[in-house]
Amino acid sequence: MTTLTRWRFPSLLRDFPADQEDGFLAEYAEKSVVILRIAIPLAIILYLLFFIWDYMHEPATIPEKIGIRISFIMFAFCTFFLTYFPIFLRHMQAIMFVFLCAAAIGVAFVLLYTTNGFNIGIAGILLAIMYGCGFARLLFWTAASFTVSTVAITNVIMIASDQDIITIINADFFLVSASIIAVTYAYFLELGERRAYYYKYQFLNEKVKVDSILQRFIPVRMLDQLDKTFSHVAEAYGEATVVFADLVGFTNLSKRLSPSHLLEILSDIFTKLDELAERHNVDTIKTIGDAYMAAAVVDLHGSNTAERVADFAIAALDSVEAYATAKDLPIRMRVGMATGSVVSGIIGKKKPIFDLWGETVNEASRLETDGIEGEILASEPTYWRLRHTFNFEEHGDVRINADLSIKAYKLKSRK
């Protein structure tokens, strides 16, 4: 039975690394601003509705209270419009802290002008605390600062207005209880949001790694299409140049060397070929045993794909010769290349594979198979495209199948 290791999330007292912390705060602000554009108008509506409570309870105090309520409503409108500016996203927690402290202070001053207000109306400050730590999306430390500030300011107002000790103790009992509940909620809210961001960050990192591996086997353009369609992806090209390269002598070498040594040699050679393919803007298609397949197509690599592949083939031949000499290995490379139309695509779902098909692929493969070690055989269409810039020698006909033979040329070097 597989044992799962339980992941322990770090304490909120320890932030993410700087880049992740900035990303988390930015993403949290973007998600929160949508809610705040509902929460702030709701606060304005509730403040307006409490005019009814003012009128019903003590109509005589309305002149004092209306100034407090209108001042907060104007401040709330300014905060709401600020949500449409980039500065709000950068400083959302600080702005909402000020906004909520203003709301709580406003309620406290309304209660100050109300007879026995801190007994019958303390619920108004409790609403501000619950609203701030819930609907307003305060993070843990901002919520803690807000609740502490609210309790402290309310106590200062109560003491300054000579409220009796029973009223103060009663109010503090509810204020502190509400603050503990609100801050606890803010803690778990932030904990959940940080966990979600952590998992997302890890997922994206793993996706980058997976994509980088897939890009070694599947071109980026097709990988993007595969992500969108989740179905077969195919492309047709009117002209492409395909090259096959095979290591001659590698099979005999496998009889006297250990598997790990053979793998090391093959890995070294194919790594060099990958680097050369990238340098010459040629796509690596696949490896088959000790054979290497690459190609360049007109739409992606310019008008003369044959020239790029020819440069790659010459460089690959020289690279393998140099490697074999340096390692004292009895291996050489033979190469075949052909130019013409091809179809490319991804087949399979469990293990998707990128490949090329068409007569051009068959010709390049046959030219490599019937080629000479240390030589590059090119098809006639390739020769006609490169005859002015590369040196060739006639090779003769190469049989592709029972009914078809093609003329081949040895590609020697650039002129």
Residues with Cβ within 8 Å of 412's Cβ and at least 6 positions away in sequence, in order, are: 390, 391, 392, 393
Q: What is the pLDDT of residues 384-394, one digit of tens each?
A: 999 999 999 99
DSSP code, position 3: P
Q: Exposed (0-12), middle (13-18) or buried (19+): which is 100, by Cβ within 10 Å? A: buried
Rg for the chain, CA atoms, rounded: 37
Coil, strand or helix: which one is 414?
Answer: strand
- Break the chain into its structural domains and give their ranges: 18-210, 220-414
* Cβ atoms of residues 253 and 331 within 8 Å: yes
Backbone φ and ψ for 2, nearest 5 degrees, come out as -75, 135
Q: Which residue has the tokens 């897939």?
A: 214
Mean pLDDT of 314-326: 92
User: pTM (2 decimals)?
Assistant: 0.60
**What letters, b where the CB count within 10 A reaches 16 and e where it falls short, cover 234-248?**
ebebebbbbbbbbbb
pLDDT-derived band at 222 (thresholds 50, 70, 90) equals low
pLDDT of residue 14: 55
Distance CA 24, CA 211 (A): 23
pLDDT of residue 4: 38
Taking alpha carbons only, the member of 134, 178, 174, 143 closest to residue 36 is 134
For the domain spanning 220-414, the CATH number is 3.30.70.1230
pLDDT of residue 7: 40
- Alpha-helix residue ranges (DSSP H) falling in 58-164: 62-82, 86-90, 92-112, 117-120, 122-133, 140-160
* Cβ atoms of residues 333 and 365 within 8 Å: no
pLDDT of residue 370: 87
Q: What is the pLDDT of residues 57-109, one digit of tens each?
A: 778 777 878 888 888 889 999 999 999 999 999 999 999 999 999 989 988 88
Q: Which helix (H) or strand (E) holds 394?
A: strand 390-401
Q: Which residue has the tokens 């695509």?
A: 345
pLDDT greater than 50 at residue 173: yes
* Cβ atoms of residues 296 and 313 within 8 Å: no
pLDDT of residue 396: 87
Mean pLDDT of 231-252: 84
DSSP code, position 61: G
pLDDT of residue 244: 94
| Mean confidence (pLDDT) of the chain | 85
Distance CA 31, CA 197 (A): 12
Coil, strand or helix: which one is 245?
Answer: strand
Backbone φ and ψ for 355, nearest 5 degrees, come out as -155, 170
Q: What percent of the chain has pLDDT over 90?
A: 42
Distance in Å from the first CA to the final CA of the chain: 66
